[in-house]
């Protein structure tokens, strides 16, 4: 149980730090004239991520889950997803956000993992939502929230792609 609680605290602190970074970046982008797309959808994403943490915790305690026998390879997948996500966040710089904020006249970011992948941040989040619960044998949370996350991201990516199509193409 100690390992579970430490891991949960790590995830929560990580998410809170990311929200603080996103808020800082949001202020910068809005001062540069950013336009937000899909504010209502953002609330759904936030609610889903909060529900994910509640479900993960509830399943662990209510069903007496424990560390998976495959925890080590699953943890390695989680760490790889983290590395990809933070590479994406670093590459986007001030443009990284949890909201869809587009500054008219800016160019698409094509450095870092964006040279190779279209949505590396979303790929890593899909992996995280699936793998985090599996590390602790929380199969219900893994299945339900992986599906919900894929549905939410499918919609979000469509909206984001449309918004990004208005940007200048990279050099």
171 occurs within a structural domain? no
Longest dimension (CA), the chain: 54
Side-chain half-sphere of 102: how many Cα atoms within 13 Å? Answer: 18
121 occurs within a structural domain? yes
Does the pTM exceed 0.85? yes
pLDDT in tens, 61-112: 999 999 999 999 999 999 999 999 999 999 999 999 999 999 998 888 999 9
CATH, residue 72? 1.20.120.1630
Q: Domain of 64?
A: 2-164
User: Residue 107 carries which DSSP code?
Assistant: B
Crossing angle of helices 120-135/39-62, nearest 10°? 20
CA dihedral 25, 27, 28, 32 (to 10 degrees): 130
Number of domains in the chain: 1
pLDDT at 18 over 50: yes
């Amino acid at each position: 149980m100690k390992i579970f609680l430490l891991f949960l605290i790590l995830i929560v602190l990580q998410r809170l730090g990311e929200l603080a970074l996103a808020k800082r970046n949001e202020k910068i982008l809005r001062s540069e004239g950013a336009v937000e797309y899909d504010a209502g959808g953002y609330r759904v994403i936030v609610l889903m991520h909060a529900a994910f943490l509640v479900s993960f915790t509830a399943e662990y305690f209510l069903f007496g889950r424990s560390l998976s026998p495959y925890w080590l390879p699953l943890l390695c997948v989680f760490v790889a997803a983290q590395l990809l996500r933070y590479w994406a966040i670093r590459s986007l710089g001030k443009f990284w956000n949890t909201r869809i904020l587009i500054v008219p006249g800016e160019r698409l970011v094509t450095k870092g993992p964006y040279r190779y992948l279209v949505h590396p941040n979303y790929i890593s989040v899909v992996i995280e939502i699936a793998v985090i619960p599996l590390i602790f044998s929380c199969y219900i949370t893994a299945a339900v929230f992986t599906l919900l996350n894929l549905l939410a991201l499918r919609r979000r990516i469509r909206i984001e792609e449309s918004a990004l199509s208005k940007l200048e193409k990279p050099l």
